Chain A
Protein backbone atom coordinates (compact mmCIF):
# COMPACT_ATOMS: atom_id res chain seq x y z
CA UNK A 1 0.00 0.00 0.00
CA UNK A 2 1.21 3.45 -0.80
CA UNK A 3 1.24 5.81 2.14
CA UNK A 4 1.48 9.52 1.45
CA UNK A 5 3.77 11.00 4.04
CA UNK A 6 3.15 14.50 5.30
CA UNK A 7 4.84 16.37 2.46
CA UNK A 8 6.67 19.04 4.39
CA UNK A 9 7.15 20.60 7.76
CA UNK A 10 4.85 23.53 8.53
CA UNK A 11 5.89 27.15 8.06
CA UNK A 12 7.65 29.01 10.83
CA UNK A 13 4.85 30.21 13.05
CA UNK A 14 5.21 33.40 15.01
CA UNK A 15 2.64 35.29 17.10
CA UNK A 16 -0.25 33.31 15.61
CA UNK A 17 -2.51 33.70 18.63
CA UNK A 18 -1.94 37.45 18.71
CA UNK A 19 -3.40 37.94 15.24
CA UNK A 20 -6.48 36.02 16.23
CA UNK A 21 -7.13 38.22 19.26
CA UNK A 22 -6.35 41.31 17.19
CA UNK A 23 -8.98 40.26 14.65
CA UNK A 24 -11.54 39.63 17.39
CA UNK A 25 -10.72 42.92 19.08
CA UNK A 26 -11.32 44.91 15.87
CA UNK A 27 -14.82 43.47 15.59
CA UNK A 28 -15.82 43.73 19.26
CA UNK A 29 -14.46 47.26 19.62
CA UNK A 30 -16.01 48.17 16.25
CA UNK A 31 -19.46 47.08 17.42
CA UNK A 32 -19.10 49.03 20.68
CA UNK A 33 -17.69 52.08 18.89
CA UNK A 34 -20.67 52.10 16.57
CA UNK A 35 -22.92 52.80 19.58
CA UNK A 36 -20.46 55.02 21.45
CA UNK A 37 -19.42 57.24 18.51
CA UNK A 38 -22.85 57.72 16.99
CA UNK A 39 -24.38 58.22 20.45
CA UNK A 40 -21.69 60.81 21.13
CA UNK A 41 -22.28 62.60 17.83
CA UNK A 42 -26.06 62.65 18.18
CA UNK A 43 -26.04 63.89 21.77
CA UNK A 44 -23.36 66.54 21.20
CA UNK A 45 -24.19 67.75 17.71
CA UNK A 46 -27.82 66.99 16.94
CA UNK A 47 -30.02 66.95 20.05
CA UNK A 48 -30.94 70.00 22.18
CA UNK A 49 -30.01 72.73 19.76
CA UNK A 50 -27.19 70.92 17.97
CA UNK A 51 -23.72 72.41 17.74
CA UNK A 52 -24.74 75.75 19.30
CA UNK A 53 -25.06 74.13 22.73
CA UNK A 54 -21.40 73.15 22.90
CA UNK A 55 -19.45 75.24 25.37
CA UNK A 56 -17.21 74.81 28.38
CA UNK A 57 -20.31 74.63 30.55
CA UNK A 58 -21.75 71.85 28.36
CA UNK A 59 -18.62 69.74 28.74
CA UNK A 60 -18.39 70.49 32.44
CA UNK A 61 -22.02 69.52 32.86
CA UNK A 62 -21.54 66.22 31.04
CA UNK A 63 -18.41 65.31 32.96
CA UNK A 64 -20.07 66.01 36.28
CA UNK A 65 -21.89 62.76 35.59
CA UNK A 66 -19.84 59.54 35.95
CA UNK A 67 -21.93 57.98 33.18
CA UNK A 68 -20.40 60.32 30.57
CA UNK A 69 -16.93 59.92 32.07
CA UNK A 70 -17.17 56.17 31.55
CA UNK A 71 -18.71 56.67 28.06
CA UNK A 72 -15.95 59.02 26.93
CA UNK A 73 -13.20 57.02 28.63
CA UNK A 74 -14.36 53.85 26.92
CA UNK A 75 -14.54 55.63 23.58
CA UNK A 76 -11.00 56.91 24.09
CA UNK A 77 -9.45 53.55 24.93
CA UNK A 78 -11.41 51.50 22.42
CA UNK A 79 -10.95 53.89 19.47
CA UNK A 80 -7.24 54.53 20.08
CA UNK A 81 -6.35 50.86 20.41
CA UNK A 82 -8.65 50.05 17.46
CA UNK A 83 -7.16 52.76 15.26
CA UNK A 84 -3.58 51.89 16.24
CA UNK A 85 -4.09 48.20 15.65
CA UNK A 86 -5.68 49.02 12.29
CA UNK A 87 -2.66 51.16 11.39
CA UNK A 88 -0.39 48.31 12.47
CA UNK A 89 -2.14 46.08 9.93
CA UNK A 90 -1.55 48.65 7.22
CA UNK A 91 2.10 49.11 8.22
CA UNK A 92 2.58 45.34 8.08
CA UNK A 93 1.06 45.33 4.60
CA UNK A 94 3.10 48.09 3.07
CA UNK A 95 6.46 48.17 4.83
CA UNK A 96 9.01 45.99 3.13
CA UNK A 97 12.06 46.32 5.33
CA UNK A 98 11.81 44.78 8.83
CA UNK A 99 13.58 47.75 10.49
CA UNK A 100 11.12 50.27 9.04
CA UNK A 101 8.21 48.06 10.03
CA UNK A 102 9.47 47.78 13.60
CA UNK A 103 10.17 51.52 13.90
CA UNK A 104 6.75 52.51 12.57
CA UNK A 105 4.97 50.02 14.82
CA UNK A 106 6.84 51.19 17.91
CA UNK A 107 6.04 54.81 17.00
CA UNK A 108 2.36 53.91 16.62
CA UNK A 109 2.07 52.31 20.05
CA UNK A 110 4.08 55.07 21.75
CA UNK A 111 1.71 57.71 20.33
CA UNK A 112 -1.29 55.56 21.24
CA UNK A 113 -0.02 55.08 24.80
CA UNK A 114 0.72 58.81 25.23
CA UNK A 115 -2.73 59.81 23.97
CA UNK A 116 -4.44 57.25 26.20
CA UNK A 117 -2.55 58.50 29.28
CA UNK A 118 -3.30 62.17 28.52
CA UNK A 119 -6.94 61.47 27.63
CA UNK A 120 -7.52 59.33 30.70
CA UNK A 121 -5.95 62.02 32.90
CA UNK A 122 -8.30 64.64 31.46
CA UNK A 123 -11.39 62.48 31.82
CA UNK A 124 -10.65 61.32 35.36
CA UNK A 125 -9.16 64.49 36.90
CA UNK A 126 -11.25 67.10 35.11
CA UNK A 127 -12.34 69.85 37.52
CA UNK A 128 -14.36 72.74 36.04
CA UNK A 129 -13.69 74.98 39.03
CA UNK A 130 -9.86 75.27 38.91
CA UNK A 131 -9.91 78.29 36.61
CA UNK A 132 -11.66 81.19 38.46
CA UNK A 133 -12.07 83.19 35.24
CA UNK A 134 -14.68 80.73 34.01
CA UNK A 135 -15.76 78.87 37.14
CA UNK A 136 -17.77 81.80 38.51
CA UNK A 137 -20.17 81.34 35.58
CA UNK A 138 -20.86 77.70 36.52
CA UNK A 139 -23.48 76.78 39.08
CA UNK A 140 -21.56 73.67 40.22
CA UNK A 141 -18.66 75.82 41.48
CA UNK A 142 -20.75 78.11 43.68
Chain B
Protein backbone atom coordinates (compact mmCIF):
# COMPACT_ATOMS: atom_id res chain seq x y z
CA UNK B 1 0.00 0.00 0.00
CA UNK B 2 3.00 2.28 0.22
CA UNK B 3 2.79 3.36 -3.43
CA UNK B 4 -0.70 4.82 -3.09
CA UNK B 5 -0.44 8.51 -3.78
CA UNK B 6 -2.43 10.86 -1.64
CA UNK B 7 -3.99 13.44 -3.88
CA UNK B 8 -3.90 16.89 -2.39
CA UNK B 9 -7.20 18.29 -1.39
CA UNK B 10 -8.44 20.85 -3.93
CA UNK B 11 -7.79 24.27 -2.44
CA UNK B 12 -10.74 26.48 -1.64
CA UNK B 13 -10.98 30.22 -1.84
CA UNK B 14 -13.28 32.92 -0.59
CA UNK B 15 -14.43 35.21 -3.38
CA UNK B 16 -16.90 38.06 -3.71
CA UNK B 17 -19.15 38.30 -6.73
CA UNK B 18 -20.93 41.49 -7.68
CA UNK B 19 -23.89 40.46 -9.79
CA UNK B 20 -25.99 42.91 -11.78
CA UNK B 21 -29.59 42.35 -10.68
CA UNK B 22 -32.74 43.50 -12.43
CA UNK B 23 -36.34 42.48 -12.05
CA UNK B 24 -39.04 44.25 -13.98
CA UNK B 25 -41.63 43.28 -11.38
CA UNK B 26 -40.01 44.87 -8.32
CA UNK B 27 -39.99 48.29 -9.97
CA UNK B 28 -36.38 48.97 -8.98
CA UNK B 29 -33.51 50.09 -11.18
CA UNK B 30 -30.82 47.61 -12.17
CA UNK B 31 -28.28 47.39 -9.33
CA UNK B 32 -25.16 45.52 -8.17
CA UNK B 33 -25.61 42.94 -5.45
CA UNK B 34 -22.66 41.25 -3.76
CA UNK B 35 -22.36 37.63 -2.67
CA UNK B 36 -19.54 35.91 -0.77
CA UNK B 37 -18.94 32.41 -2.05
CA UNK B 38 -16.51 29.65 -1.13
CA UNK B 39 -15.17 28.15 -4.35
CA UNK B 40 -12.76 25.40 -5.28
CA UNK B 41 -9.72 25.88 -7.45
CA UNK B 42 -11.55 23.94 -10.15
CA UNK B 43 -14.71 26.04 -10.07
CA UNK B 44 -15.87 28.24 -12.90
CA UNK B 45 -17.94 31.41 -12.68
CA UNK B 46 -20.96 29.26 -13.55
CA UNK B 47 -20.34 27.10 -10.44
CA UNK B 48 -20.21 30.22 -8.30
CA UNK B 49 -23.51 31.40 -9.78
CA UNK B 50 -24.99 27.97 -9.06
CA UNK B 51 -23.83 28.20 -5.46
CA UNK B 52 -25.47 31.59 -5.09
CA UNK B 53 -28.70 30.35 -6.65
CA UNK B 54 -28.83 27.08 -4.74
CA UNK B 55 -27.55 28.21 -1.35
CA UNK B 56 -28.12 31.94 -0.99
CA UNK B 57 -30.71 33.46 -3.33
CA UNK B 58 -32.95 31.22 -5.42
CA UNK B 59 -34.27 34.18 -7.37
CA UNK B 60 -30.97 34.79 -9.18
CA UNK B 61 -31.75 34.24 -12.85
CA UNK B 62 -29.35 33.22 -15.60
CA UNK B 63 -29.29 30.87 -18.58
CA UNK B 64 -27.22 27.73 -18.90
CA UNK B 65 -27.74 24.33 -20.41
CA UNK B 66 -24.71 22.23 -21.25
CA UNK B 67 -22.31 23.81 -18.72
CA UNK B 68 -19.46 22.76 -21.00
CA UNK B 69 -19.08 25.46 -23.62
CA UNK B 70 -21.19 23.79 -26.28
CA UNK B 71 -24.68 25.24 -26.19
CA UNK B 72 -23.89 28.95 -26.03
CA UNK B 73 -26.47 29.82 -23.36
CA UNK B 74 -24.35 31.52 -20.74
CA UNK B 75 -22.49 34.36 -22.41
CA UNK B 76 -22.16 37.18 -19.88
CA UNK B 77 -19.92 40.11 -19.11
CA UNK B 78 -17.38 38.99 -16.51
CA UNK B 79 -15.03 41.70 -15.22
CA UNK B 80 -15.98 43.77 -18.25
CA UNK B 81 -15.28 41.08 -20.84
CA UNK B 82 -17.74 38.88 -22.66
CA UNK B 83 -17.17 35.24 -21.79
CA UNK B 84 -19.01 32.00 -21.22
CA UNK B 85 -19.50 31.57 -17.47
CA UNK B 86 -18.96 27.82 -17.93
CA UNK B 87 -15.56 28.29 -19.56
CA UNK B 88 -14.18 30.90 -17.17
CA UNK B 89 -12.19 29.43 -14.29
CA UNK B 90 -12.39 31.62 -11.21
CA UNK B 91 -8.74 31.04 -10.39
CA UNK B 92 -7.84 32.62 -13.74
CA UNK B 93 -9.47 35.86 -12.60
CA UNK B 94 -8.00 38.17 -9.97
CA UNK B 95 -9.51 36.63 -6.82
CA UNK B 96 -8.20 39.35 -4.53
CA UNK B 97 -10.76 41.68 -6.07
CA UNK B 98 -14.51 41.20 -6.43
CA UNK B 99 -15.66 39.53 -9.64
CA UNK B 100 -18.22 41.55 -11.57
CA UNK B 101 -20.86 39.63 -13.50
CA UNK B 102 -23.44 41.42 -15.64
CA UNK B 103 -25.64 40.65 -18.66
CA UNK B 104 -24.23 41.06 -22.18
CA UNK B 105 -24.79 44.55 -23.55
CA UNK B 106 -26.92 45.79 -26.42
CA UNK B 107 -29.85 43.44 -25.87
CA UNK B 108 -32.75 44.19 -23.55
CA UNK B 109 -32.36 42.72 -20.08
CA UNK B 110 -35.33 40.57 -19.10
CA UNK B 111 -34.21 39.53 -15.64
CA UNK B 112 -30.81 39.57 -13.92
CA UNK B 113 -28.40 37.99 -16.43
CA UNK B 114 -31.05 36.96 -18.95
CA UNK B 115 -31.44 39.13 -22.07
CA UNK B 116 -33.91 39.05 -24.95
CA UNK B 117 -32.04 37.15 -27.67
CA UNK B 118 -34.72 37.58 -30.34
CA UNK B 119 -33.11 40.53 -32.20
CA UNK B 120 -29.91 38.47 -32.30
CA UNK B 121 -31.67 35.42 -33.76
CA UNK B 122 -33.58 37.64 -36.17
CA UNK B 123 -30.32 38.85 -37.74
CA UNK B 124 -29.13 35.23 -37.85
CA UNK B 125 -32.28 34.11 -39.66
CA UNK B 126 -31.98 36.99 -42.13
CA UNK B 127 -28.74 35.65 -43.62
CA UNK B 128 -30.39 32.30 -44.53
CA UNK B 129 -28.14 30.07 -42.41
CA UNK B 130 -28.91 26.82 -44.18
CA UNK B 131 -27.62 25.00 -47.26
CA UNK B 132 -29.28 26.11 -50.48
CA UNK B 133 -28.60 23.64 -53.28
CA UNK B 134 -30.62 22.58 -56.30
CA UNK B 135 -28.98 19.24 -57.02
CA UNK B 136 -30.25 16.02 -55.47
CA UNK B 137 -27.28 13.70 -54.97
CA UNK B 138 -27.78 9.98 -54.40
CA UNK B 139 -25.74 10.09 -51.20
CA UNK B 140 -23.65 12.83 -49.68
CA UNK B 141 -22.40 15.99 -51.42
CA UNK B 142 -18.70 15.49 -52.02
CA UNK B 143 -16.28 18.24 -51.05
CA UNK B 144 -12.49 18.38 -51.16
CA UNK B 145 -10.60 18.93 -47.89
CA UNK B 146 -9.33 22.26 -49.29
CA UNK B 147 -12.84 23.47 -50.07
CA UNK B 148 -13.95 22.42 -46.61
CA UNK B 149 -11.02 24.23 -45.00
CA UNK B 150 -12.20 27.48 -46.57
CA UNK B 151 -15.02 27.87 -44.03
CA UNK B 152 -13.83 25.55 -41.25
CA UNK B 153 -13.35 28.38 -38.78
CA UNK B 154 -16.89 29.72 -39.05
CA UNK B 155 -18.50 26.28 -38.57
CA UNK B 156 -17.48 26.44 -34.92
CA UNK B 157 -20.00 29.12 -33.91
CA UNK B 158 -22.37 28.22 -31.07
CA UNK B 159 -24.51 31.38 -31.34
CA UNK B 160 -23.68 32.58 -27.85
CA UNK B 161 -23.87 36.27 -28.88
CA UNK B 162 -20.63 37.14 -27.08
CA UNK B 163 -19.30 38.75 -30.27
CA UNK B 164 -22.37 40.71 -31.32
CA UNK B 165 -22.93 42.04 -27.80
CA UNK B 166 -19.28 43.15 -27.55
CA UNK B 167 -19.54 45.26 -30.70
CA UNK B 168 -19.77 49.03 -30.09
CA UNK B 169 -21.60 49.49 -33.38
CA UNK B 170 -24.26 46.99 -32.28
CA UNK B 171 -24.58 48.82 -28.94
CA UNK B 172 -25.48 52.11 -30.63
CA UNK B 173 -28.86 51.08 -32.03
CA UNK B 174 -29.04 47.30 -32.37
CA UNK B 175 -29.81 47.61 -36.09
CA UNK B 176 -26.45 46.29 -37.33
CA UNK B 177 -26.58 42.62 -38.40
CA UNK B 178 -23.70 41.98 -36.01
CA UNK B 179 -20.66 39.71 -36.18
CA UNK B 180 -22.47 36.46 -35.38
CA UNK B 181 -24.88 36.78 -38.32
CA UNK B 182 -21.96 37.58 -40.63
CA UNK B 183 -19.95 34.62 -39.30
CA UNK B 184 -22.85 32.30 -40.05
CA UNK B 185 -23.34 33.82 -43.50
CA UNK B 186 -19.61 33.29 -44.10
CA UNK B 187 -20.06 29.63 -43.21
CA UNK B 188 -22.34 29.18 -46.26
CA UNK B 189 -20.98 31.88 -48.59
CA UNK B 190 -17.64 30.06 -48.77
CA UNK B 191 -19.12 26.55 -48.84
CA UNK B 192 -18.53 25.12 -52.34
CA UNK B 193 -21.72 23.03 -52.08
CA UNK B 194 -23.94 26.06 -51.51
CA UNK B 195 -25.49 27.92 -54.44
CA UNK B 196 -26.84 31.07 -52.80
CA UNK B 197 -23.65 32.95 -51.96
CA UNK B 198 -24.71 35.90 -54.12
CA UNK B 199 -28.05 36.10 -52.32
CA UNK B 200 -26.33 36.26 -48.93
CA UNK B 201 -23.72 38.74 -50.14
CA UNK B 202 -26.55 40.92 -51.39
CA UNK B 203 -28.31 40.69 -48.02
CA UNK B 204 -25.14 41.79 -46.21
CA UNK B 205 -24.43 44.60 -48.69
CA UNK B 206 -26.95 46.55 -46.66
CA UNK B 207 -27.09 49.83 -44.81
CA UNK B 208 -26.97 47.71 -41.64
CA UNK B 209 -24.69 45.08 -43.15
CA UNK B 210 -20.93 44.50 -43.22
CA UNK B 211 -20.09 48.15 -43.99
CA UNK B 212 -21.00 49.18 -40.48
CA UNK B 213 -18.11 47.08 -39.15
CA UNK B 214 -15.29 49.36 -37.96
CA UNK B 215 -12.72 46.60 -37.40
CA UNK B 216 -12.42 47.09 -33.64
CA UNK B 217 -11.66 43.37 -33.10
CA UNK B 218 -13.89 43.23 -29.98
CA UNK B 219 -15.71 40.28 -31.56
CA UNK B 220 -12.57 38.26 -32.19
CA UNK B 221 -11.46 38.86 -28.63
CA UNK B 222 -14.85 37.88 -27.22
CA UNK B 223 -15.45 34.66 -29.14
CA UNK B 224 -15.20 31.69 -26.74
CA UNK B 225 -14.67 29.38 -29.72
CA UNK B 226 -11.61 31.28 -30.90
CA UNK B 227 -13.17 32.10 -34.26
CA UNK B 228 -11.35 34.84 -36.16
CA UNK B 229 -14.55 36.84 -36.41
CA UNK B 230 -13.12 40.12 -37.70
CA UNK B 231 -11.23 38.24 -40.41
CA UNK B 232 -14.42 36.47 -41.48
CA UNK B 233 -16.20 39.83 -41.74
CA UNK B 234 -13.33 41.22 -43.81
CA UNK B 235 -13.56 38.21 -46.15
CA UNK B 236 -17.27 38.85 -46.65
CA UNK B 237 -16.55 42.53 -47.42
CA UNK B 238 -13.97 41.46 -50.01
CA UNK B 239 -16.43 38.99 -51.50
CA UNK B 240 -19.09 41.69 -51.85
CA UNK B 241 -16.59 43.97 -53.61
CA UNK B 242 -15.67 41.11 -55.97
CA UNK B 243 -19.31 40.16 -56.42
CA UNK B 244 -18.59 36.48 -55.71
CA UNK B 245 -17.03 34.36 -52.93
Q: Which residues of B contact A65 (CB under 8 A)?
A: none
Q: How large is the interface on B (under 10, 10 to 19, 20 to 34, 35 or more residues)?
A: 10 to 19
Q: Which residues of A contact B237 (CB under 8 A)?
A: 23
Q: How far is the CB of A90 from chain B (nearest CB, A)?
A: 10
- Pick from B172, B203, B206, B211: contact of A22, CB below 8 A: B211
Q: Which residues of A contact B172 (CB under 8 A)?
A: 93-94
Q: Is B128 an interface residue (CB 8 A)?
A: yes
Q: Is B47 an interface residue (CB 8 A)?
A: no
- A-B contacts, CB under 8 A, total: 41
| Bound CA–CA A96/B173 (angstroms) | 8
- Pick from A16, A22, A94: contact of B205, CB below 8 A: A16
Chain A interface residue count, Cβ-Cβ cutoff 8 angstroms: 20
Q: Is B231 an interface residue (CB 8 A)?
A: no
Q: Which residues of A contact B208 (CB under 8 A)?
A: 11
A20 contacts B126, C-beta separation under 8 Å: no
Q: Which residues of A contact B125 (CB under 8 A)?
A: 7-8
| Bound CA–CA A4/B129 (angstroms) | 12
- Pick from B206, B240, B241: contact of A13, CB below 8 A: B206
| Bound CA–CA A2/B237 (angstroms) | 34
Q: Is A55 an interface residue (CB 8 A)?
A: no
| Bound CA–CA A7/B206 (angstroms) | 19
Q: Which of B172, B207, B240 has the most CB of A within 10 A?
A: B207
- A-B pairs with beta carbons under 8 Å apart, 22 shown: A4-B130, A6-B128, A7-B125, A7-B128, A8-B125, A10-B203, A11-B206, A11-B208, A15-B207, A16-B205, A16-B207, A16-B209, A17-B205, A19-B206, A19-B209, A19-B212, A20-B211, A20-B241, A23-B237, A93-B173, A94-B172, A96-B173
